[in-house]
Amino acid sequence: MTRRVAARLALLVLATAPAVARAEPIEGLAAIVGDDVILVSEVQERAAPALARLAQEQSAFLRDQTMREILSQQLDVMIDELLVEQEAERLMLSVTEEEVDRAIEGIKQRNGWDDLALENQIARRGQTLEQYRRETRIEVLKYKVLSVRLRGRLRTDDAEVRRVYRQIVRSSRSGDTFEAAQVLIRVPDGASAIEVQRLEERAEAVARRAREGEDFAQLARDFSDDPATAAAGGSLGTLRHGDLPASLDDELVLLDVGGVAGPVRGPEGFYVLKLVAGNITGVRSFEEARRGIENQLMEQMMQRQEDVFLANLRRKTHIERRLR
């Protein structure tokens, strides 16, 4: 018997039962969710691993109290899952076995697991493979429903994607040592907006020439307003990330050897920077990493929206909890 048929039979029993009997919970019925039901036996089956661990508790009172809490929490999870399935049915969405397979492969890859490691993880949770696949199917279905319902409302911001990429690169290269050089175009205190713009354009011209392959040391000697480094071809010596002001280091951390950054606004004006030498940890380029970061940010946004979405489904669906 399907849940929906069972639910309608249960509701029919309620409708035809005497008024006094209606106040009593139907034996074996944990909850009515719209046109569907959740049975107590289903809740107990899903909660079995946690209930098995509870058997170690010596106090009968605590054991009974904790058992009720476990069953109540499991019922909440199952109600949410059923709400998602009902919404998916309305949207004519489904999940294939191939999609479940791909989701599980993704979980294995993200965690560095092989088949045996996955089996061990499932066993630690007290689940069978079938139960784990069912749980994964619900997660994929939830993602699909949220994607449809929130389509057009969630967008990844390019600046946020670049900020996350910078964090990833900084984490990878935090221990690198390197040699860097600079050309400083100084901005005097009290400079007018027009003067600042003129100086920025001068710095942009220097950066362009550096990227086109002109000798950076000579550019520093010819154009830098920092006498101490200009005489040495702009050299800043050997550095570690964090030695320079954050605005400058944030640009240097993204460079490979020979790369040029800037102009960057820093403490004294506009800086053109070059990574001259160093043992630099290799990372994927921004364009190579962009899609993965965007997906990660989208998942985070969807997770934040999930509670709101489920609360809305609960409000618009008739739900009766009968498990005590």
- β-bridge mates for residue 321, sequence order: 31
Q: What is the mean pLDDT of residues 39-62?
A: 82
- Average of per-residue pLDDT across 227-252: 91
CB 263 within 8 A of CB 272: yes
What is the dihedral sign for C-alpha 64, 67, 71, 72?
positive
3-state secondary structure of 261: strand
Mean pLDDT of the chain: 86
Residue-level pLDDT at 283: 86
**Is pLDDT above 70 for 220?**
yes
pLDDT score of 215 more than 60: yes
Evaluate if residue 122 carries a pLDDT over 80: yes
Lowest mean pLDDT among 95-109, 164-178, 188-202: 164-178
Res. 15 pLDDT band, cuts 50 70 90 = very low
Query: Can you list the positions of beta strands (E) in the chain?
Result: 29-33, 36-39, 177-186, 235-240, 260-265, 269-278, 319-321
User: Closest Cα partner for 87 from 40, 155, 34, 154?
Assistant: 34
Q: pTM for the whole thing? A: 0.55
User: pLDDT band for position 279 (50/70/90)?
Assistant: confident
pLDDT at residue 5 in the model: 47
pLDDT of residue 6: 52
Tell me the mean pLDDT in the region 92-115.
92
pLDDT band at 90 (very low <50, low <70, confident <90, very high): very high
In this prediction, residue 152 carries a pLDDT of: 60
| Structure confidence by residue, pLDDT tens digits, 171-197 | 888 888 999 999 999 999 999 999 999
Residues 6+ apart with CB under 8 A from 71: 43, 44, 47, 323
Q: What is the pLDDT of residue 154?
A: 66
Q: Give the pLDDT band of residue 277 (cuts 50, 70, 90).
A: very high
All domains in the chain, ordered by first residue: 94-149 (no CATH), 176-278 (3.10.50.40)
Q: How many CA atoms lie within 13 A of 56 on its CB side?
A: 4
For residues 43 and 31, what is the distance between their CA atoms, to the nearest angstrom? 10
| pLDDT confidence of residue 57 | 66
CA atoms of 269 and 206, how far apart (whole Å):
14
Residue labelled with tokens 């951390």 = 253
- Cα angle 130-135-139, degrees, rounded to a multiple of 5: 145
**pLDDT number for residue 12:** 43
- Residues 217 and 156: beta-carbon distance below 8 Å: no
